[in-house]
Structure 1
Amino acid sequence: MGTGTKGETAEPDWVGLPGGLLGLRRLLLVIWTVVLTVATAVPLGLLAGPAWAVCALFWPAVLVWGWVMVGRNWRSWRYAERADDLLISRGVLWREQTVVPYGRMQLVEVTSGPLERRFGLASVQLHTAAAASDARIPGLVPAEAERLRDRLTALGEARSAGL
């Protein structure tokens, strides 16, 4: 058990992801659904007849299911900064919580691919000595990602120096 200090017993202040990531993922889902629907309907309609083209309606059904699942997954992502470590929680069916001690961080990166930049998003990638414990927080606003990077880097340097 802990020593009973407030920092160890209090519930952390969780921060969820902004809505831009949800919008990006749903847009990609719609684009892929349209492509797969057309790629299924056209060949089936031309080669097997129009009645078989109805099989392409499978993909819009996947879209409806995927729309709900993407939303649930997005809501499951959250992070919390504590005194000695960073918590990252994610997952709907299988919940996963990663604890990254500030003193173990070796590198904190902010990355943003072309689609992320288009939606005004960035990701924070945390690297530790153990490759299996690397962690990532996707879909942040770039200013928040940079603030988090700077804070985690400063805390990591202070903890590794023994301050």
Structure 2
Amino acid sequence: MSTVLPAALAAPAVALAGEAVTFLTPAVPVWPWWVLSATVVVWASLRWVRLRAAWSWSGYSLTETDLWVRAGLWTRHIESLSYGRIQTITVHSGPVQRRFRLATVSVATGSYYALAIAHVSTEQAEEIRDRLTAVARNGQVPL
């Protein structure tokens, strides 16, 4: 989602740069710059559609005994994690996520296995962390 807007803004800049080069050196044809601009616009549009589709498929659910996470666009997968196996819960957000007030909640077990709930609002991420921490700390769910 972060590269769509800059790419869409780059297309007119590339076209204007092509016009400037053509104006300064009349022997250079104009059409390659317009083809490059059109390619950037098509790429940005396809990226936007892909991101929207991936966003609509991803999600999570906190049931009484498990955390369920679904993700993927081409290879869709649904994963579950029992509350009793939770060892670490982290909430982190990069610069782009902070700009849009989003965060990612990562839930890890003592082994290699981990789940991530990506791109939820910061308030929602804190609620998820607090709920998972309370359930895991109280030991309400058997292994």
Whether these two folds match at TM > 0.5 is yes
- The verdict on how the C-alpha distance between 1:134 and 1:50 changes in structure 2, with shifts beyond 3 A counting, is same
Q: Distance in 1 between matches of 2:142 and 2:66?
A: 14
CA contact (8 A) 1:110 1:146 kept: yes
CA contact (8 A) 2:83 2:141 kept: no
Length-normalised TM-score, structure 2? 0.79
Identity level (%): 24
Greater percentage in helix: 1
Q: Deviations over 1:66-92 (max 9, x none)?
A: 221111111011111112110000123
SS at match of 1:88: strand
1:75 partnered with 2:50: no
Q: Distance in 1 between matches of 2:31 and 2:100?
A: 40
Structure 1 counterpart of 2:43, from 55, 59, 62: 62
Q: Distance in 2 between matches of 1:45 and 1:76?
A: 44
Equivalenced residues, count: 137
SS at match of 1:58: helix
Q: Distance in 1 between matches of 2:57 and 2:79?
A: 13
Aligned to 2:25: none
Q: Please list, as runs of the form range in 1=range in 2, the aligned pairs for 1:111-150 lying within 5 A after superposition.
A: 111-131=92-112, 133-150=113-130
Structure scoring higher RCO (CA < 8 A, sep ≥ 6) equals 1
Q: Distance in 2 between matches of 1:103 and 1:44?
A: 63
Q: Distance in 1 between matches of 2:103 and 2:142?
A: 31
What stretches of structure 1 of length at least 5 have no aligned partner? 1-24
Q: Please list, as runs of the form range in 1=range in 2, the aligned pairs for 1:4-153 lying within 5 A after superposition.
A: 25=1, 27-35=2-10, 38=13, 42=17, 46=21, 49-56=29-36, 57-131=38-112, 133-153=113-133
